[in-house]
Structure 1
């Protein structure tokens, strides 16, 4: 990694952020085993309880989704939904994740599996629950000594008592001190310059591509017209900047716990010291979540540079699918693994291909697809899959079947 910094070595050490550090031991394992199956208290991490017009619009903007179906009430009423509606991933703006357990360990959200059952309409109220289902491990890791992987289940229910979505997600917890040491050694082995040194011409080409990518919208993609091997329409993100992360948070992203300021934050940090660290430059108390926009925090976590949010990346995958399938399609399920980091300044190109055409037991016509998300270095940072129900020329669309009467 190339770093341009004129700070003297002693001053640089003084400016290092420090976070609590621990190793996985028998007492910690026993404590977490006892918590398996518990429904967690998540009030401090809930961001939206109602899908208001403003909440949905802010979320769509925060993930960079320009489909007017989510933001134009008339477009929603004219669609198969019959009313203004939120994107499927909006439930992640209500509640996504929580900082839980394993004091002194670092953690990364590493995978998600989502199932979408019902639309979320403007005006719906969404109640979220989160169950800690236990962990796997510990096991040795090439990244950081030993790791354990937590398993969670989020359930989202509307005011009618209908479960609109379920999300399983996994978090890898690691021994932070070991990760930081190995990260520094690995950086020397990699030809990695951060931030990425884009030329103005390269940035112009990327942004022209972003502006050319349009959602399919109200032009139905019929099941009969899809062939195995068809590619999904590409979706480009980047160069990813600080405001992209701030917009995701403002749209209801994943503050775990919810972000606060001044006395409101200090009261929380006094009660939960593991939630924060001291910024070595500003002197402020900052949340652990700041790894996504604060380089000192990222370095203390054992990572070279600020990086994206797991659920943010998941929302990109959902957007890829809704862009391709059109407003009359329905995402039944999708899953993704988060491999490597998406650093600020990276460009990520999402795409995929149709693997199979199927008729489900319900009688719906669907396709199974695999997806990818490749950065400018050619690495697939989010391989995944999805099942998408598509309209047919002779039957009702999958949205019509789920639309509220």
Structure 2
């Protein structure tokens, strides 16, 4: 998330820190995949984890009637294969925070296909935050293959900031939001009213700038939701039972060739595990977050969910660019919707629509923005 601060962190990022991170540009990372196959179970677990019950992902009887002839995985299932978190060379005291992602979808992943991930640091760049001082952004690129075919590319942008300490933090603590019974019922009704376009083909000639992209509602965020998400896309190789985590830590410490290197060693060696902030409020506060908070890839998946609902089965999601502006903490609800902002033709994809969507939380704060490109079906000549 963005690194808005209330003071200058005790540790500063040094020239040596920056030079070391830049030394990893172009270097391949050892990644440990969560899923290797788009199986019945892995697709279902991921779809449930992101709260997306599109029958194209979940029902064989439905999917067999579509142009695919079989179930396919949600586009962001790529994160279930490998979370694409790449931020190498971070020294002790530097915190990695998900800033955004740019995803390029070459084609859907079909039921039964085996997927392989390859990751490396593509770029490292410095900037100065308005309130947070010196920052380093790392862009990690992860390529996904079925056999030798490139089926998707994810570029996750990670901002590396000096970890909060001494009472100075990126965000002030915030208690979970308390909803009235009426607000709870409104959220429930909105979830049940979610519209999935499905087999009602959205032809290019019917799409215009300003068309509304209906909302999906996510939340209120809670521990079970986070657990369900991690069941589908566990994240880095540090998310393991304590016994296997100890063994993995030993592999990292000893430089075992099988040990993950996509993040700095401290990420895998720290106790308590840094990413417990996604589930535990005390750990979240310790790293300067307002409370236990959602996962950046999870937020990307929610934005994609809104777009795939709108576009239907006969369109293709070509790309998705997401910027995360504020953390979502336990108790938060996100209303995600938008509109068509451009209609155009592309040499590679034919008739396309650019769709812009935003996530607004229950406090009226815009937490996330995204721009998607969708390749639309064209009306056949009679």
Relative to the length of structure 2, the TM-score reads: 0.89
Q: Which residue of 2 aligns with 1:268?
A: 248
Q: Which residue of 2 aligns with 1:338?
A: 324
**Unaligned stretches of 5+ residues in structure 2:** 1-9, 254-264
Q: Which residue of 1 aligns with 2:115?
A: 126
CA distance in 2, matches of 1:125, 1:206: 37
Cα deviations across residues 328-382 of structure 1 (Å, max 9, x unaligned)?
1111111010001111111101111111211211361111121111111111111
CA distance in 1, matches of 2:357, 2:302: 11
1:150 aligns with 2:131: no
CA distance in 2, matches of 1:136, 1:201: 47
**Unaligned stretches of 5+ residues in structure 1:** 1-20, 279-284, 396-405
Q: Structure 1 residue 258: deviation in Å?
A: 4.1
Q: Which residue of 1 aligns with 2:4?
A: none
87, 94, 97: which one pairs with 2:74? 87
Q: Structure 1 residue 214: deviation in Å?
A: 2.8
CA distance in 1, matches of 2:296, 2:358: 15
Q: Structure 1 residue 268: deviation in Å?
A: 3.0
Q: Which residue of 2 aligns with 1:243?
A: 224
CA-atom RMSD in angstroms: 2.1
Judge conservation of contact 1:47–1:93 (CA < 8 Å) in 2: yes
Aligned partner of residue 286 in structure 1, secondary structure: coil
CA distance in 1, matches of 2:17, 2:298: 30
CA distance in 2, matches of 1:335, 1:110: 11
1:381 aligns with 2:370: no
CA distance in 2, matches of 1:179, 1:347: 31
Instruction: Decide which structure has the larger Cα Rg and report it.
Output: 1
34, 58, 71: which one pairs with 1:47? 34
Query: Map of 1:352-363 to 2, 5 A cutoff?
Result: 352-362=338-348
Higher helix proportion, which one?
1
How many residues end up aligned between the 2 structures?
359
Higher strand proportion, which one?
2
Relative to the length of structure 1, the TM-score reads: 0.84
Query: Map of 1:305-344 to 2, 5 A cutoff?
Result: 305-344=291-330
Q: Which residue of 2 aligns with 1:391?
A: 377
Aligned partner of residue 89 in structure 1, secondary structure: helix
1:102 aligns with 2:90: yes
CA distance in 2, matches of 1:101, 1:199: 46
CA distance in 2, matches of 1:180, 1:101: 26
Q: Structure 1 residue 276: deviation in Å?
A: 5.9
Aligned partner of residue 212 in structure 2, secondary structure: coil
